[in-house]
Structure 1
Amino acid sequence: MNIDTEGLESFIPTEKIEELLQSEQNPSESQIREIIAKSLEKNRLAPEETAALLNVSDPELKQLIREGAHELKKTIYGNRIVLFAPLYVGNECVNDCVYCGFRSSNKECIRATLSHEQLVQETQALESKGHKRLIMVYGEHPKYSPDFIAQTVQTVYDTKYGKGEIRRVNINAAPLDIEGYRIVKSVGIGTYQIFQETYHQETYKTLHPRGPKSNFLWRLYGLDRAMKAGIDDLGIGALMGLYNWKFEVMGLLYHTIHLEETFGVGPHTISFPRLEPAIGTKFTENPPHKVPDEDFKQLIAIIRLSVPYTGMILTAREEAELRNEAIRYGISQIDAGSSIGVGDYSAKDEESRKKSQFVLGDTRSLDDVIYELAQEGYIPSFCTSCYRAGRTGEHFMEFAIPGFVKRFCTPNALLTFAEYLYDYASERTRQIGFELIDRELKQIEDENMKQAVKNKLEQMEKGVRDLYF
């Protein structure tokens, strides 16, 4: 693969971001209310407006921002939460990122790549718990070629266990060239996710001293190439703790704007994981720009308001208590029942931590997470209908920006939730789950849709599966 960035320039305006973060100090209450009102009309914010939100210091105005984000989430996404699990395929890596447990110079990391048989076992283990959506994770190494990624994805799709199957596979892997993306697209992936890690170019250079990942522009334009290859479902992200979190939020916004202006569609999801401890990695023990919990909750709310129609992912890096609270500020997807050691789902052993990229904060089972979500009135969803009905990329935004997603997503969430309850749930989860479904059915205003959902639920009770709108 020829890594060629000749003629490319960064679309992250470092000086402009720093200037905005300085100039938009101490915004007034009226200004903040105007910005929130614009967002509640489902309009993406301008950089100046996001900078103003980032510079709020008054506790009451901070709370106003969080309440606005909560209201926006309800308006666009309703009370559903999409669930998935990460599946680490291999941790071999040629990069030497200072903060990463998989870095090439880390002698404490035990290298592993799943064989075909192990991948089948991992997939079956996940299906046996009720998972329907995965994100498959790969280190950056020559053995993880586009052909290898495509083959492993196809193996997952082909693997069935009891009533279980994986219906959507998303990818977290190294940036590819256009032909590489075409190969991966050919097996029917969902989202292709690339985290820039930090959008501050000088910091990026320091933290990525060796390997292909040291090329800031190659990574920055990675999703442009994916779009050109026909993958229109993209995920962006920044690793919070590498640089000033306010700068990173602005970087995520400018990346969104770049994709919108270049291709007419922004990212499908935004991620903002915090740096967590990793074995053999001193850098993670005292991050230079550690993000406190309160700031983390604030950045979630600000991203929600800045890009109203984009999905937001909160991972199990965070502890359960924080996740339970932060969901209300705009989260639409979480992983659950997660394990991040290579081979952990089917054969967890004493060396699992040495095969892991970092340490998880939330180790609850999938059923426990679903039970607690239902207790709080959230609809756990395994829905994949938009992906399979072609509502991705620009087509997805046609539904998402006006807020029409809720019309598809709530009914589909109820159906996938019922499927989980019938096939995998504990008795306590099944009881609270069907009570929640009954309440939600009563709140569907469209009588035709309400009856259609009831009809599909009756079919499901008789054993029919994979029903969606």
Structure 2
Amino acid sequence: MSSENFLAEKQFYNHLDFKDFFAHVTPQTVQQTLSKEHLTRKDFLVLLSPAAQDCLEEMAQRSRYETIKNFGYTMQLFTPMYIADYCDNLCVYCGFNHKNTINRRCLNMDEIKIEAANIAQTGLRNILILTGESQKYSPVDYILEAVQVLHDYFDSIAIEVYSFSQADYNRAVQAGVDSMTMFQECYNKKVYQSLHPGGPKANYEFRLDAPERACRAGMRNVNIGALLGLNEWREEAFFTGIHADYLQHKYKEVEIAVSTPRICPCSADYKPLSLVNDHDLVQYITALRIFLPRAGLTLSTREKPQMRDNLIKIGITKISGGVTVAVGGHTKGDDGGQFKISDERSIPQMAKMLYAQGYQPVYKDWQTLI
């Protein structure tokens, strides 16, 4: 199936009755699916079914095999760097919500240099920079000026910011940004609109198309994901997977990756619509790996250390360390932030854990040429 953009392709699945589909899936159906070399989108949905919970061990074994086959015993390390947290959005689940009373900051270029130097001392040569969504306090020009500063410290620069226009993604690539992360947060449009009642992020279609605009601009790596817990997780998992599948097939020169975050406490007074337990997360990650054997899978510090250590063995290819979710947190300390993290280990501690499991931590795998 092909279409002009993912939104057009998604229409085909919008009327899918997930409960009815899952009602016809048995453990035998799952076993038959696992015996296939290549999976269809229907097969992916089978692996997300409640019936597949009885086959998690077999799924984990297949997932581990596919990961080692395509990525070996390597694990890319990274850390996020928050440079601004002013935000115009009213996302009901986020600590950066415009109406939340928090001490907001926007680093100047000298502060960004200090923060970058601190992070670079860990040996990392790639960085992910983040901002809130505020065209006033963190406009595109500010973000790209920060990118220029960061080139003195890092070989690969990724952004996790608001949705850019096509022209601005083109500018970002020209400035040396080689990767981007864009969480759709929730693929169900009706639920999405209730979660994002105001601000630029309320534009569902513009955000959904952002990864594709980044691909067209020439990004080397594009990372997508849904925030599990905002809606029924199996539905969100399915649309995340087929979105990644769509991008992989249409933009073969781009490395497509998926992040798998679960919602966790923040300063917003929000109760998740769907609880996603550990078994659910394992099912999601293993199903993704089997369906998309060559896609990168990223795991954040929202998960506890033991959970992260175990998931490394069955599908994850990129993991964070030394994390702070506060602006300037690498030098000024973590006095709050977007959400609460569960794994506070440093980059050296993460590397030690990886070596103990027989993995090679990767501090650099790309050199941006500008």
TM-score using structure 2 length? 0.92
Distance, in Å, in 2 between the alignment partners of 1:171 and 1:17 is: 34
For residue 343 of structure 1, what is the aligned residue in structure 2? 328
Corresponding residue to 2:82 among 60, 79, 88: 88
For residue 289 of structure 2, what is the aligned residue in structure 1? 304
Conserved? CA contact 1:278–1:358, under 8 Å: yes
Does residue 269 of structure 2 align to residue 282 of structure 1? yes
For residue 278 of structure 2, what is the aligned residue in structure 1? 293
Corresponding residue to 2:142 among 148, 170, 187: 148
Conserved? CA contact 1:196–1:238, under 8 Å: yes
Displacement of 1:93: 0.6
Displacement of 1:12: 2.4
Q: Which amino acid aligns with 1:323?
A: R
Identity of aligned residues (%): 26
Distance, in Å, in 2 between the alignment partners of 1:365 and 1:321 is: 15
For residue 73 of structure 2, what is the aligned residue in structure 1? 79
Gaps (5+ residues) in structure 2? none
Distance, in Å, in 2 between the alignment partners of 1:82 and 1:15 is: 34
Displacement of 1:26: 5.5
For residue 23 of structure 1, what is the aligned residue in structure 2? 21
Distance, in Å, in 2 between the alignment partners of 1:271 and 1:53 is: 18
Structure-2 change in CA distance of 1:9 and 1:382 (3 Å): closer
Larger proportion of helix: 1
Distance, in Å, in 2 between the alignment partners of 1:23 and 1:117 is: 55
Displacement of 1:48: 0.7
Distance, in Å, in 2 between the alignment partners of 1:149 and 1:58 is: 44
Corresponding residue to 1:365 among 346, 354, 361: 346
For residue 122 of structure 1, what is the aligned residue in structure 2? 115
Q: Give per-residue Cα distances to partners, 1:215-246, cap 9 Å, x unaligned.
A: 11000111222223232521111101101111
Does residue 125 of structure 2 align to residue 132 of structure 1? yes
Distance, in Å, in 1 between the alignment partners of 2:242 and 2:54 is: 28
Conserved? CA contact 1:257–1:266, under 8 Å: no
Displacement of 1:263: 3.5
- Written as runs of structure 1 = structure 2, the 5 A alignment for 1:184-199 is 184-199=172-187
Q: Give per-residue Cα distances to partners, 1:188-235, cap 9 Å, x unaligned.
A: 122111110011111000000001110110001112222232325211
Identify the structure with bigger relative contact order (alpha carbons < 8 Å, sequence gap 6+).
2
Does residue 238 of structure 2 align to residue 253 of structure 1? no
Distance, in Å, in 1 between the alignment partners of 2:170 and 2:354 is: 37
SS at match of 2:298: strand
Structure-2 change in CA distance of 1:257 and 1:376 (3 Å): closer
- Written as runs of structure 1 = structure 2, the 5 A alignment for 1:99-248 is 99-107=93-101, 109-142=102-135, 143-158=137-152, 165-248=153-236
Structure-2 change in CA distance of 1:246 and 1:58 (3 Å): closer
Distance, in Å, in 1 between the alignment partners of 2:360 and 2:220 is: 27
For residue 419 of structure 1, what is the aligned residue in structure 2? none
Which piece of structure 1 moves more, 256-265 or 210-219? 256-265
Q: Which amino acid aligns with 1:213?
A: K
Conserved? CA contact 1:36–1:65, under 8 Å: yes
Equivalenced residues, count: 365
Displacement of 1:365: 1.5
For residue 320 of structure 1, what is the aligned residue in structure 2? 305
Does residue 363 of structure 2 align to residue 382 of structure 1? yes
SS at match of 2:178: coil
Corresponding residue to 1:67 among 61, 64, 69: 61
For residue 396 of structure 1, what is the aligned residue in structure 2? none
Displacement of 1:254: 2.2
Which piece of structure 1 moves more, 113-122 or 261-270? 261-270
Displacement of 1:20: 4.8
For residue 423 of structure 1, what is the aligned residue in structure 2? none
Displacement of 1:146: 2.2
Displacement of 1:326: 1.3
- Aligned CA RMSD, in angstroms, stands at 2.2
Q: Which amino acid aligns with 1:123?
A: A
Structure-2 change in CA distance of 1:137 and 1:297 (3 Å): same
Q: Give per-residue Cα distances to partners, 1:373-401, cap 9 Å, x unaligned.
A: 1111111111323x5599xxxxxxxxxxx
Displacement of 1:58: 5.9
Distance, in Å, in 2 between the alignment partners of 1:294 and 1:223 is: 29
Does residue 253 of structure 2 align to residue 272 of structure 1? no
Distance, in Å, in 2 between the alignment partners of 1:304 and 1:322 is: 17
Displacement of 1:291: 0.6
- Written as runs of structure 1 = structure 2, the 5 A alignment for 1:25-40 is 25=23, 27-29=25-27, 31-38=29-36
Q: Give per-residue Cα distances to partners, 1:273-297, cap 9 Å, x unaligned.
A: 1111112x110xx311121111111
SS at match of 2:121: helix
TM-score using structure 1 length? 0.73
Q: Give per-residue Cα distances to partners, 1:292-323, cap 9 Å, x unaligned.
A: 11111111111111111110000011110110
Larger radius of gyration, structure 1 or 2?
1
Distance, in Å, in 2 between the alignment partners of 1:55 and 1:311 is: 23
Displacement of 1:128: 1.6
Distance, in Å, in 2 between the alignment partners of 1:61 and 1:275 is: 25
For residue 407 of structure 1, what is the aligned residue in structure 2? none
Distance, in Å, in 2 between the alignment partners of 1:73 and 1:322 is: 18
SS at match of 2:10: coil
Displacement of 1:82: 0.5
Distance, in Å, in 1 between the alignment partners of 2:19 and 2:206 is: 27
Q: Which amino acid aligns with 2:341?
A: L
Which piece of structure 1 moves more, 141-150 or 290-299? 141-150
Conserved? CA contact 1:97–1:208, under 8 Å: yes
Q: Which amino acid aligns with 1:133?
A: N
Structure-2 change in CA distance of 1:271 and 1:250 (3 Å): same
Distance, in Å, in 2 between the alignment partners of 1:261 and 1:301 is: 21
SS at match of 2:243: helix
Conserved? CA contact 2:66–2:290, under 8 Å: yes
